[in-house]
Amino acid sequence: MDMNANLPTFLGAFLGLLATAAADSIAVDWYGGGKNEGSSQARMARSEWAGGVPQQHWNSFTGPKQPAGQPLVDSNGAATGATVTWKAGGMWDTNGTDKPGDFRMMLGYLSNGAEEIAVTVTGIPAHFIATGYDVYVYSDGDNDTHRRAATLAIGAVSAVNTDMSSASFAGKFVEGLNYVCLRGLTEATFTLTATPVVGPKTNNPRAPINGIQIVQRSAAGKP
């Protein structure tokens, strides 16, 4: 076998692996509210793995409003210089089981009535901007027998998530049913909005946000 002839192929594969390994993500979780009122629901530990693009070091917060920028670490636990603020009508939870990982991340959420939820992330790191990034938005509420839909948007990039009646998160991420992905973003600051879709087949409109992941495009994958 002529190793020299295959060197470009091996080198390309190696560089591809390096690019994937160097890719990064930042994740934010909201906990508390509902029947637990933020007391018996545990905050996510930095060691927990969760998300459609699995990672550790989730930045876990509670409270319906936070006007002061909260610092964010990345999936390696390193400071990023990015901060997050948010404004919602309240906090709630799905009344699901509080156990580590995806279930805990999907348990608590920012809640609203007819008003809009807004989450602003400022200071996205330069290497995210250089490659572009995707934002995964996790959305599952305590909707009982109601079917609810929400428009989740960052600027002109938007998607609709439908929270089906009598369906709670069961351990599997399904795009359009408990998360959406807003792809190909390059801004240093973005504001995510969550707006209830009001229609003849929706009851008590809501637009929950359980968590978000900001994922470099070279690492972005589909849950």
Place of tokens 């409003």: 65
CATH of the domain at 122: 2.60.120
**3-class secondary-structure state, position 40:** coil
Assigned domain for 36 exists = yes
Which whole number is the average pLDDT over 99-107?
94
pLDDT at 85 (0 to 100): 98
Question: Could you tell me whether strands 117-122 and 90-93 are parallel, antiparallel, or unpaired per DSSP bridges?
Answer: unpaired
Q: Which pTM does this prediction carry?
A: 0.85
pLDDT at 199 over 70: no
**How many domains does the chain fold into?**
1
Assigned domain for 2 exists = no
DSSP bridge partners of 65? 87
Out of 15-29, 66-80, 144-158, pick the least confident.
Answer: 15-29
Assigned domain for 16 exists = no
Assigned domain for 126 exists = yes
State how far the Cα of 76 lies from the Cα of 72, in Å rounded to an integer.
11
Assigned domain for 195 exists = yes
State how far the Cα of 37 lies from the Cα of 46, in Å rounded to an integer.
22
DSSP bridge partners of 196? 150
Which one is predicted more confidently, 9 or 64? 64
Residue 163: give the domain boundaries.
25-216
Contacts of 42 (CB under 8 A, 6+ apart): 31, 98, 104
Give the distance, in angstroms, between the CA of residue 63 and the centroid of all CA atoms in the same chain: 17
Contacts of 197 (CB under 8 A, 6+ apart): 148, 149, 150, 151, 160, 205, 207
**3-class secondary-structure state, position 164:** coil
Assigned domain for 111 exists = yes
Assigned domain for 88 exists = yes
Which one is predicted more confidently, 13 or 197? 197
Closest to 110 measured CA to CA, from 64, 148, 149: 64
Which one is predicted more confidently, 149 or 80? 80
CB contact burial 189-205 (16+ within 10 A = b; e otherwise): ebebbbbbbeeeebeeb
State how far the Cα of 205 lies from the Cα of 77, in Å rounded to an integer.
36
